[in-house]
């Protein structure tokens, strides 16, 4: 490919990125990547409920850390996806405010769901919780003196034995459920794929899937508080 063709391609990509459609496409693609991680992370966490849950999830953590190069490659890819998702999300929010700087005297939520109306504040809350979650369970910085390196089961059960920490986690997962519900079906529209016949089906499927994911994550702190997952 010639330098001229490469230059034209780069300029076209830059123009697309600077458009609202481009930002929505980036947010949709990165959202799907992060959704895949949410699913995989859930399956990993649910190992705690297996007959040998303690050994399984601790072995799973050791296995992941046995390949540091691959682990950091995945982490770097996810961090990039998160940054692009937040960047496009923030840019769209700023453009929306600039388009209606004066606002409406009386705002009516016509034709929008509760999940859609909470997207712009649930996103920052989830992002803040992700940072806390990493400092809590990955690095142990926010955990306290009871953190044990490589002991995922013990760390999780120890943390969720505190009702306040469990409550914060549950709220974060409920907001994640709302965020996923709206994001899962709206990404089709962002990528230009919309059909009046199939979109309602996709919205219902997104609602069911988001609720199941939230139940899966919330089941862990609830099980700890109920004594189903004991520390010893």
Is the pLDDT at 45 greater than 80? The verdict is yes
Average pLDDT over residues 77-98: 84
Lowest-pLDDT range of 2-16, 130-144, 146-160, 215-229:
2-16
Q: Of residues 111 and 116, which shows the higher confidence score?
A: 116
pTM: 0.81
Average pLDDT over residues 171-198: 76
Is the pLDDT at 23 greater than 50? The verdict is yes
pLDDT band at 183; cut points 50, 70, 90: confident
Is the pLDDT at 107 greater than 60? The verdict is no
Is the pLDDT at 171 greater than 80? The verdict is yes
CB-based contact 57:44 (threshold 8 Å):
yes
Work out the percent of the chain whose per-residue pLDDT is above 90: 31
Q: Of residues 222 and 191, which shows the higher confidence score?
A: 222
**What DSSP assignment string belongs to 137-166?**
IIS-TTT-TT--TT-HHHHHHHHHTSHHHH
Measured CA to CA, the distance from residue 104 to residue 102 in angstroms comes to 7
Measured CA to CA, the distance from residue 102 to residue 105 in angstroms comes to 9
Distance of CA 164 to CAs 142, 160, 161, 221, Å? 14, 8, 9, 11
Q: Of all residues in the chain, what percent are helix, strand and coil, respectively (each to 5)?
A: 75, 0, 25
Q: Quick one: pLDDT at residue 15?
A: 74
Kindly list the domain boundaries of the chain, sorted by start residue. Answer: 19-96+113-225
Measured CA to CA, the distance from residue 78 to residue 158 in angstroms comes to 27
Q: Quick one: pLDDT at residue 76?
A: 92
- What's the chain's length in residues? 232
Is the pLDDT at 110 greater than 50? The verdict is no
**What DSSP assignment string belongs to 189-205?**
HHTT---TTTHHHHHHH
Cβ neighbours for 38, distance < 8 A, ≥ 6 positions apart: 176, 180, 213
pLDDT band at 146; cut points 50, 70, 90: confident
Measured CA to CA, the distance from residue 150 to residue 62 in angstroms comes to 7
């Amino acid at each position: 490919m010639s330098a001229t063709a490469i230059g034209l391609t780069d300029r076209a990509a830059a123009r697309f990125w600077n458009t609202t459609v481009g930002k929505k496409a980036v947010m949709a693609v990165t959202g799907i990547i992060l959704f895949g991680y949410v699913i995989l992370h859930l399956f990993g966490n649910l190992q705690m409920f297996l007959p040998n849950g303690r050994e399984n999830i601790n072995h799973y953590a050791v296995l992941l850390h046995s390949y540091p190069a691959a682990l950091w490659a995945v982490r770097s890819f996810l961090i990039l996806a998160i940054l692009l998702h937040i960047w496009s999300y923030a840019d769209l929010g700023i453009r929306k405010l600039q388009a209606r700087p004066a606002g409406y005297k009386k705002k009516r939520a016509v034709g929008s769901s509760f999940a859609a109306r909470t997207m712009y504040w649930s996103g920052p809350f989830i992002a803040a919780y992700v940072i806390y979650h990493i400092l809590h369970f990955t690095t142990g910085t926010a955990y306290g003196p009871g953190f044990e390196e490589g002991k995922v089961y013990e760390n999780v059960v120890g943390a969720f034995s505190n009702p306040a920490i469990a409550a914060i986690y549950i709220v974060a997962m409920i907001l994640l459920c709302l965020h996923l519900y709206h994001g899962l079906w709206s990404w089709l529209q962002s990528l230009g794929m919309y059909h009046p016949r199939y979109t309602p089906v996709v919205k219902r499927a997104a609602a069911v899937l988001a609720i199941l994911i939230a139940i899966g994550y919330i089941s862990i702190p609830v099980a700890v508080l109920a004594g189903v997952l004991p520390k010893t």
